[in-house]
Structures are given as C-alpha cells and as structure tokens.
Amino acid sequence: NAGVTQTPKFQVLKTGQSMTLQCAQDMNHEYMSWYRQDPGMGLRLIHYSVGAGITDQGEVPNGYNVSRSTTEDFPLRLLSAAPSQTSVYFCASSVQGYTEAFFGQGTRLTVV
Amino acid sequence: AQKITQTQPGMFVQEKEAVTLDCTYDTSDQSYGLFWYKQPSSGEMIFLIYQGSYDEQNATEGRYSLNFQKARKSANLVISASQLGDSAMYFCAMRGGSNAGGTSYGKLTFGQGTILTVHP
C-alpha cells in the first residue's frame, strides 16, 4: 500500500542545473499537485492536475514545468535551478470533490 | 481567489488541556471544503479533519473538532486533552469551487501554519 511516492528524498543541485522530481500514486486519484514549503510561508501550490493531460498553474509556477501523461505519475521539472528554489517539495493526490489530499514524504532540495 | 489566515505563529498548551488553533478564510465560492493537517518534526503531512461548507454540524474526529462559523468565515481546530505527541505544526487549508475551466477543485490553499507545543 504505497500511497504517494516521491523521489528523491534529498537532492543538491548547482545553479543552472535541471532535474525532475518524481511523484507516483497508486490510488487511482484524479487530482495531483505539487507544493513547496518554505519557512513561515506554509505550503504554496506550484502546479496541479485534475486528470491525465490536464494541468494548471498554481501560485508559484515560474521556473517549473509539469506534465501528466498517466493517472499515476506527475513529475515536476526544474528547468534551470536557482538558489530561490531551495525548499521542501511535496506532491499530493486526491479523488474528485472535497476530499483530503494524501501527501508524499517530501523532497528536500538545496540549490547552491 | 482563496485565502487562509492563521494568525497564531506559535501556541503553548499544558498536557491534558484543550487548545484552539485559529483559522479564518476568504472565498467567493458558495461551496468549499476546509481541512486541517498536522506536520510533526519528521515532516510528513497528516490529515486530521474535514468540514464541508454545507455541513450543518461541526466535524469531529476523536480528540479533534472543527469549530465552523460560516458567517464569520472561521474554521478553528480544537484539540481536547492535549498529548505530548500533539506538538507539531498545524495547517488549515481550503479546497474551493470551480473556475471557468473546472480545474480549481484540484488545488488546496494553505495557511502559514501554527506551531503547537505541548508542555508536560
């Protein structure tokens, strides 16, 4: 019973490098989303998806890309990493409607 | 646009006492859902309780209850009989209604969080 799986758990990048944070869920959830958590700012929505092939921007989308080719996977791409993207990233999924979101364990990203 | 405000950066409570964590929200949606999550020092996000905007009764889940006052747009979390393991960050969040494209159900808006410390 895996739930929401994020990889990697920790990552250090150099400024300008690109990488993909992986997120997979095995609960057949339609909704998936990416958040970043910074001290004192709560969780801020980066991008979200309401189904395969449908994505939309959240509050802080700049510097990030997403795609949703399958129900299970929702990768987050950092195009050219910047120190401002140092954060903890959470992926979440949920079924339709006003239901709770299930979160992955988080990825701690440091950009130097 | 949706907004969640948690005005208490930190709260302290004695073990076995009750504590209320404040949450106010702003939305123009008629239909929405309100959530509370707990984040212990280990970092995972744990769902605690949910309240729908049309629910007439306040939600309860064990020692957690949600004091929902729709007219005041508040959704305070009440933890009864606090335990040392309740020490954590607590987030209030909202899932709102539909935008023109029908996608806004997919996102949660979070408050800044309240750090709760339970003293023995």
> Is residue B101 very low, low, confident or very high in pLDDT (cuts 50, 70, 90)?
low
> Is residue B64 very low, low, confident or very high in pLDDT (cuts 50, 70, 90)?
very high
Q: Which residues of A touch B (CB under 8 A)?
A: 30-33, 35, 40-45, 48-50, 54, 56, 58, 88, 90, 92, 96-103, 105-106
Whether the pLDDT of residue B65 is over 60: the answer is yes
pLDDT tens sequence for chain A (112 residues): 679 999 999 999 999 999 999 999 999 999 999 999 998 788 999 999 989 999 999 999 999 999 999 999 999 999 999 999 999 999 999 987 668 899 999 999 999 9
A101/chain B closest Cα distance in angstroms = 8
Greater model confidence, B6 or B32: B6
Q: Which residues of chain B are within 8 Å of residue A32 when distances are taken between CB atoms?
A: 106
- 3-class state of residue A112 by DSSP: coil
Test mutation, A100, A102, A109, chain B, max B CBs within 10 A: A100
Q: Are B106 and A98 in contact (CB < 8 Å)? A: no
Q: Could you say which of B4, B95, B103 has the minimum Cβ distance to residue A56?
A: B103
What pLDDT is recorded for position B105?
67
What pLDDT is recorded for position A53?
94
- Single out the residue of A88, A75, A96 nearest to residue A25, CA to CA: A75
Q: How many CB pairs under 8 A join A and B?
A: 69
| Rounded-to-integer distance, Cα A11 and Cα A19, Å | 10
**Token pair listed for B78:** 């009440």
Sheet with A64-66, edge to edge strand ranges:
A4-7, A19-25, A76-78, A64-66
What pLDDT is recorded for position A99?
80
What pLDDT is recorded for position B2?
85
Q: What is the DSSP letter of B46?
A: E
What pLDDT is recorded for position B6?
97
Residue A39 vs residues A91, A94, B8, B73, B89: alpha-carbon distances, Å: 18, 25, 15, 26, 11
- Single out the residue of B9, B2, B23, B47 nearest to residue A40, CA to CA: B9
Which chain A residue shows the shortest CA-CA distance from B33? A98
Give mean pLDDT, residues B63-70.
Answer: 97
What pLDDT is recorded for position A33?
94
What pLDDT is recorded for position A76?
98
| Rounded-to-integer distance, Cα A39 and Cα B54, Å | 33
What pLDDT is recorded for position B38?
98
Whether the pLDDT of residue B96 is over 80: the answer is no
> Is residue B107 very low, low, confident or very high in pLDDT (cuts 50, 70, 90)?
confident
